[in-house]
Structures are given as C-alpha cells and as structure tokens.
Structure 1
Amino acid sequence: MSDVARVARVSLMTVSRVLREPDKVLDVTRERVDAAIRQTGYVHNALAGGLRSQGRTKVVAAVVPSVRNSLFAGTLQGLADALRADGLRLALGDSDYSKAEETALIRAFLSLRPSGLVVHDAIRSTALRSVLARAAIPVVEVGDLSRRPFDLAVSYSNRLAAATMTRHLLERGYRRIGFVSLSPRLTRRALERLTGFETALREAGLEPDPELIAEAQPGFAEGGRTLVELVARRARPADAVFFAGDVHGIGAILEARRQGWDVPGKVAIAAFDDVEIAPEITPALTCLRIPRYEIGFEAGRRIIARLHGDPDESTRAVDLGFRLIVRAST
C-alpha cells in the first residue's frame, strides 16, 4: 500500500479510504490512486480485521464458464464444502464463455457485497482489476496457474499438463498427433493447452501440422466430428488425437466404434480431465486427471484463511498438479 501512496502522492489513509469507501473520496484523488494501483500491481490483502464486520454478506460468489459442463461440478462441490464449514454459502454465475458476461456477473456480485470471489479464468481487464482492488475481498483464480494472479490462484499448469500428454503419445510411437480444443478465443485454457502440445512436439523435433489442429464446439458430437475430420479427411491422417476435454474424447471413442475403427490400432485417443465415465467406456480413455474437488476445497480454505487474517496464508499461487492416467485408448 505504501508504494501506491508514493506513486499517487497521497497518504496511506487516503489509499485505504479509496479502497474501502471510494464514494467518500474526490474523483480526481480516486482516479490518481486507481492509476497507481494499476501501475504498481497492488492487490489489497490486509483483511485481518474481518470483512464480515464491514457489512459483507456470508456469501462467496463463483463465476464459471458453463454450468452445462460437468467438469466444473467437482470444483464447485469442493468450494461449497469448504465454505459451509465456516458458515459461508456459495452463489453461482454462468458466463457462457463470454468475457463481457463474466465482467457483468462479477460487477453484479460485488454489488451484493460478497465475502470473496472465485473465478475460473484469470482477471486481465485493467478496469475490472481496479474495481476488485477497491472491493478489497479475496479473489481466487482456479482455471490455470497464472504466473501473476490478481490475488490468489489455486490450480495446475494447463501448458505443462498438455505437454505431458503429448510426450506420452510420442513415447508410444505416434507422430501424426492431432489436437482438438475449444477455440482459444473463448478461453485462455485452450491456448495454454495448445501451447503445451506444440512445445512438446517441437522438443521432439516435430513441427505442428495446422491440418491436424481443430477447434470444436462443446458436446460429445463435436468430438466425433473432429475425429472423422482428422482421420478420414486428411491426405496424411492423424495416428493419434489429443482432445483437450473428456467430453470430446468420449465422443471420439463412440464415433470410432460407429466407424468400425480400432482404437488405438487405427487411431489413439487421449483426453483431459478424467471424468467418471472415462475408465468405463471401451476402450478405457487415457486422460490427464485434474484434482477438481481439491482445487475448489483449497480455494475455499484460502478465502476463509484470508477472512480470518491467517498470517500463514501468504503463498499467492498454489499448484495442486495433475496425473497422467494411461489406459487402453493409447
């Protein structure tokens, strides 16, 4: 906070007032402090006094990209369980993979004075970061292990996970490896996974083939569609396809069975997340297992610790990792 005060050329008391009671500060002063916050990257975390005593509700808000996608259920369950133990409740918003909707939801939740906020994607908007800094509540990012989280991050590295799966496929002898994900324009996680995939290929002396990289809409059918596209409609077809989500991977295995293709004989299939059905289908799906429940629970625990002013909770980024689960599909 002292850096903000120095850059803005105001007192510490003025910075504190801007963060806690911005309506009581002159516009010109507030704008100068906001600019200093952006310049210094300051995140207010001096919450030892307890936010609830300042009129906060006993609610923590969470914004996820889609409530239709069961992948987020584990994280939300872990978060709700952790919060419930401290008398807090969870409020949920669905952004439908829209940054504008995510911002609108966050602003709406902040007007309800929550005790904390959990978001899936990193907070990158300068304007939104300024608003959240003034709100002075714990904010946890859970979708990726950001190098510089806005406040706190509890997650794993999408890039490292994707590279790990790609190396597994390379070690199995596959060289024409396809990659399917949601559009990187929808979610940065898709871009991080694509980057990890391409990095592992280049480390092995292979240049990624744009003909083997495809985007898909959400849904099982899209996994099947893109599998056919990469295997049956390419002059040099894929001998393995890495799907950046289990829904697409499962859809691909179902489509391979309809086509009469042997998996992994004709094409190997791997995916990301390890949902409950992944080991039950035939062939069982090779996956990256993400500790969704644990991520949600730890995010809740970090919020609670911050609210109670726990001095031991100083780590801003918590890496809960991932596991490569090798099954019959590769």
Structure 2
Amino acid sequence: MQDIAVAAGVSPMTVSNCFRYPDRVREATRLAVMQVAAELGYVPNMSAGLLAAGSSRVIGAVLPSMRNSSFYNYTCGLGRAAAAHGFELITMIAETGEEELSAVQTLLGLRVAGIALVAGEHEPGLRRLLDRSGTPVVESWGGEGAIGRGVGYDVGAASRALTRHLIAQGRRRIGFVQVAVGGSQRYAMRLPAFRQEMFAAGLPDSLVLTVRAADGFGSGAQILNEFLALEPRLDAILCPTDIVAAGAVFECQRRGLSVPGDIAVAGWGDYDIGRQLTPPLTTIAPFADAIGREAVSVLMGGQAHDDGPVETPFALEIRESA
C-alpha cells in the first residue's frame, strides 16, 4: 500500500479508503489509485482487516438455483447495492436444505458482514445457528416469520391480479399449477388468492394440479397434457414460472391449439423467454433486482428489523398469450 501511495501521489490512508471505503474518496483519485494497484499487481489482504474488525466487508448470498431470470436479476441487485456500500458479494448455490445449512456454515466461517437467504424449506437448525451467530440476516421472498427480516412482494395480490385478468378475458375453466415443495413458501400464497377470485366470480376453483417441482420446458408440456386429460374444455392455464408457461405454449403449438384463442397461457417471473416467445407471455414481473437492493439495505442497517417485512412492487405484464 505504501508503494501504491508513492506511485499515485496520495497518502496510505487514501489507498486504504479506496479499497475499504470507496465512497470517502473522490472518483478521479480512486480510479488513479486502482490503476496503479493493477499495474503493481496489488491485491488487498482481506484476512488482516478481518482479524482487526471481527468481520469482513463481504456479504454472502445463498441461492436455491440460478436457472431462472428472477434469481439472476436478484443477484445483480444484491451485487450493485453491496458495491455501492463498499462491500463484495459471495454467492453460493444450495439446492437442498442440507446444502443451504452447509453454505451458511461456510459463510459464517468467513465472518461475512451479512447473509441473504431465499425463502424456502430450511433445515430445522438453520435459524438457531444464525440467531446464535449474531450475523445480520435477511430472507428474500420472505414475509412474516422470516429468518432475520423478510424482503419480498405481495404474492397474493399478484396472484389475484393475474386471475382477475384471465376472468375478465372470458376464461371460465382455468387450470392452476400449485408447487408443493422446493421453495414452497415462495408459492404458498398464490393458490388461496386464485381460489378467492374464482369463488368471487362464481367459477369452479378445483382445477388445480399439484406438482412437486416445475422446472423446465418439458414440465410445461406434461402439465398441459394432464390438465387436458382432466378437463378437455380447459381455456386457460396459470403456470408457476415463465419457463413452464413457455413449455405449455410449445405443447399447444404441437397439438394445433391456438394461444390465446383456444387456451390462454399465463406465466410468472417476467423472464426473457416470455418476452421473446410467440405469442409473448402475460406474466407477473416481481422486480427481483429491487428485492436484492432492499435486502442489502436491511443488512446494512438501513431498515429497522422491528418494522415487519419490506415490501417491494410487482407488475402485471399483459401481453398476447392471455
């Protein structure tokens, strides 16, 4: 750091601030220091600061998957917000409760400054472990009862809005896909809201297909086929993700069924595939990047934990498929 300070014509404290507290340094100075550091091959010793402070300037995020756009956008929001506070982001993928617990143990061992989880089926000992650690925690897509503080959007309101739209389009035999496990808390409020709207409209709410997981185009085709076996007059399907919805659209096309003429198809998540599909998907846009930004704000102490879950917006994106 002394060598960098001499070469850049600044003090060693300025060099330190450029790496640890970039918001305290003028941008031109920071860029000059970082250029000199790169030329000299300097990498800061994070363990030294860790020993002195007891925690690092790193935020850890545990994700159940990176197979959909929501988690990609969420991670981008986390990363940008962390960087704005002078922190780095470490992400770990954990597809099971056991893997999630192991990931959290690893992050705690690294003395991260905070941990961002995704609502789902956690191992029984996870909450106790985090409570004892004293590390700030936020549970994204979580609500009341979240580990740490929940950050998400009103899933029930989104489900009601999407169901009302389908009903307003004249759909009367609407199939609903309920995901039973694998992050079920992220799906739990959708079905009750769907049934409320169907009941209010005097329509049957029993055309529900429960699946253990819905991940991939193939599952969309299988789900549509099962619905048509249950109700040949099916005129709409409400899918748990845009990927599943796209698979259902592909299957309709294989069967010679018009979308939305014969069957309206709605997705969830506002993935890029839904915008590029023919016809483009009607869907719910949850603004996952905003969830990531608010999660970091909670970890940085910008949101008081006793104020309840942080609610971010969502949008009903009406396109040609429904």
TM-score bracket for the superposition, by shorter chain length: 0.7 to 0.9
Give the residue type in structure 2 aligned to 1:113: R
Give the residue type in structure 2 aligned to 1:169: L
Structure 1: 5+ residue runs without aligned partners? 1-50
Equivalent positions of 1:66-81 (< 5 A) are 66-81=65-80
User: Higher relative contact order at CA 8 Å, sep ≥6: structure 1 or structure 2?
Assistant: 1
SS of structure 2 residue aligned to 1:62? strand
Give the residue type in structure 1 aligned to 2:239: F
Equivalent positions of 1:3-42 (< 5 A) are none
Could you say which residue in structure 2 is the equivalent of 1:329? Answer: 321
1:219 to 216, 222, 227: 216
Maintained 8 Å contact 2:242/2:273: no
Greater C-alpha radius of gyration? 2
Quote the offset at 1:52 in angstroms. 9.1
Matched, 1:164 2:156: no
TM-score computed with the length of structure 2 as normaliser: 0.77
Counterparts of 1:314 and 1:214 in 2: how far apart (Å)? 35
C-alpha root-mean-square deviation of aligned residues, in Å? 2.4
Could you say which residue in structure 1 is the equivalent of 2:41? Answer: none
Counterparts of 2:195 and 2:177 in 1: how far apart (Å)? 12
SS of structure 2 residue aligned to 1:73? helix
Counterparts of 1:166 and 1:152 in 2: how far apart (Å)? 29
Maintained 8 Å contact 1:121/1:188: yes
Counterparts of 1:104 and 1:171 in 2: how far apart (Å)? 47
Counterparts of 2:308 and 2:52 in 1: how far apart (Å)? 24
Quote the offset at 1:256 in angstroms. 1.5
1:69-96 per-residue CA deviation (whole Å, 9 max, x = no partner) reads 3320000001011111222111112121
Maintained 8 Å contact 2:224/2:248: yes
1:175–1:185 CA distance, 2 compared to 1 (3 A): same
Q: How many residues align?
A: 272
Counterparts of 1:65 and 1:285 in 2: how far apart (Å)? 25
Maintained 8 Å contact 1:184/1:191: no
1:295–1:52 CA distance, 2 compared to 1 (3 A): farther
1:127–1:313 CA distance, 2 compared to 1 (3 A): closer
Quote the offset at 1:57 in angstroms. 1.6
1:191–1:282 CA distance, 2 compared to 1 (3 A): same
1:183 to 169, 180, 185: 180
Matched, 1:140 2:132: no
1:196-215 per-residue CA deviation (whole Å, 9 max, x = no partner) reads 222322233334225x4242
Could you say which residue in structure 1 is the equivalent of 2:115? Answer: 117
Counterparts of 1:311 and 1:265 in 2: how far apart (Å)? 47
Equivalent positions of 1:137-286 (< 5 A) are 137-144=135-142, 146-184=143-181, 186-210=183-207, 212-215=208-211, 216-231=213-228, 233-286=229-282
Quote the offset at 1:127 in angstroms. 3.2
TM-score computed with the length of structure 1 as normaliser: 0.75
Counterparts of 1:52 and 1:168 in 2: how far apart (Å)? 56
Equivalent positions of 1:57-68 (< 5 A) are 57-68=56-67
1:258-280 per-residue CA deviation (whole Å, 9 max, x = no partner) reads 22211111100001111123222
Counterparts of 2:234 and 2:180 in 1: how far apart (Å)? 20
Counterparts of 1:186 and 1:152 in 2: how far apart (Å)? 17
1:110-147 per-residue CA deviation (whole Å, 9 max, x = no partner) reads 12211001011168666322221221122111123x12
Quote the offset at 1:316 in angstroms. 3.8
1:292 to 264, 288, 291: 288
SS of structure 2 residue aligned to 1:61? strand
Maintained 8 Å contact 2:63/2:92: yes
Maintained 8 Å contact 2:100/2:122: no
Structure 2: 5+ residue runs without aligned partners? 1-49
1:124–1:68 CA distance, 2 compared to 1 (3 A): closer
1:316–1:254 CA distance, 2 compared to 1 (3 A): same
SS of structure 2 residue aligned to 1:67? coil
Counterparts of 1:266 and 1:165 in 2: how far apart (Å)? 18
Deviates more, 1:289-298 or 1:315-324: 315-324
Quote the offset at 1:321 in angstroms. 2.1
Counterparts of 1:156 and 1:186 in 2: how far apart (Å)? 15
Give the residue type in structure 2 aligned to 1:118: A
Deviates more, 1:51-60 or 1:167-176: 51-60
Quote the offset at 1:227 in angstroms. 1.4
Maintained 8 Å contact 2:121/2:183: no
Deviates more, 1:73-82 or 1:174-183: 174-183
SS of structure 2 residue aligned to 1:277? helix
